[in-house]
Amino acid sequence: MKKILVSACLYGGEIVRYDGGDTACTHPIFLKWKEEGRLIKVCPEVFGGLPTPRPDSQRVGDKVMTGAGKDVTAEYTKGANEAARLAEENAVVFAVMKAHSPSCGSQMIYDGTFTDTLKPGQGMAVEKLRNAGVKIFNEDQLEEALAYFESL
Ligand code: SF4
């Protein structure tokens, strides 16, 4: 069976987001894949040992910092490595990762100023996954992901 890596907060059912909120994806394409048992859920930030809820953090250059100025790059790197390891172990055909996150974002991320400003960029885990050759979609690109899935 073709497996797909997904952000755990999109998969739903457990509280993993930094703010303790719920962003479970209810799109029919996503739900069908979930029902078929082909989704491998990962939360890089939880894998990195960070608590939930946790301080809002953003990429600042090559680092990840909390709004209070704490360097959490090591935790984000550890979580990114574990997500990439699971992608390889499960031979996933692509990933669907939550938009805008400093770990899972794939097109736009917050710009490091903590002013709710987005800029083009990718999260730490997505960077690692892409370097390992994993194609990335976000939750707003499920039609595109389905077309890719069906082309495989
Ligand atoms: S690290 Fe990724 S999976 Fe975990 S809560 Fe943030 S966006 Fe969701």
pLDDT tens column, 71-115: 999 999 999 999 999 999 999 999 999 999 999 999 999 999 999
Beta strands in 31-126 (DSSP E): 39-42, 57-60, 63-66, 94-96, 108-110, 118-120
Instruction: Give the model's pLDDT for residue 36.
Output: 98
Q: Is residue 138 part of a domain?
A: yes
Which of ligand 1's atoms lies nearest the C-alpha of 79? 1
Instruction: Give the model's pLDDT for residue 59.
Output: 98
Residues 75 and 79: their CA atoms lie apart, in Å, by 6
Q: Is residue 60 part of a domain?
A: no
Q: Is residue 25 part of a domain?
A: yes
For 47, counting Cβ atoms within 10 Å of its Cβ (0-12 exposed, 13-18 middle, 19+ buried), the class is buried
Distance 134 CA to ligand 1 centre (A): 17
- How many domains does the chain fold into? 1
Which residues lie with the beta carbon below 6 Å from any ligand 1 atom? Answer: 7-9, 16-17, 43-45, 98, 101, 103-104
Which domain covers residue 143, as residue numbers?
A: 4-55+73-97+124-151
Q: Is residue 41 part of a domain?
A: yes
Q: Is residue 68 part of a domain?
A: no
Q: Is residue 89 part of a domain?
A: yes
Which of ligand 1's atoms lies nearest the C-alpha of 44? 1
**Is 0.85 surpassed by the pTM of this model?**
yes
Extract the residue ranges of the chain whose pLDDT is less than 50. Answer: none
